[in-house]
Amino acid sequence: MNESNSLGNTFVSYRAIATVACQSALSSYGVVGLAAKNLAEGLVQVLVKDPTLGVEIRFVNKAILIDLYIIVEYGTRIKTVATTVSENVKYQVEKTIGLPVSHVNVHVRGLRVSNPD
């Protein structure tokens, strides 16, 4: 993202937006992790630890489109978790970056049992 004004230029990288989205998704209730969006990204993650795994950012008409690939805690309501994650990520990215977010698509890639009893 590139923006110019009378004081100078502002550059925001995809990685910066993805990091904000990743952290806000991980802090949402019911999310235990982020997942790779495909097999190739999963193999790359084994070799290089990327903190923005599972986040895809696109720009369309000065608005941000975000795709999240999450792993949900077993026993939570998946629809509620996905809605909460979508709202949290949209709010945090708009507040932090200052650009409108048009869509946050949440893809649930799996379930995980965190505390087996």
Reported as a single tens digit per residue, the pLDDT across 5-61 is 787 887 888 889 999 999 999 999 999 988 887 666 655 555 556 667 889 999 888
Single-letter amino acid code for the residue at 15: R
* Whole-structure pTM value: 0.82
Topology at the third CATH level for domain 2-112: Alpha-Beta Plaits (3.30.70)
Domain boundaries, the chain: 2-112
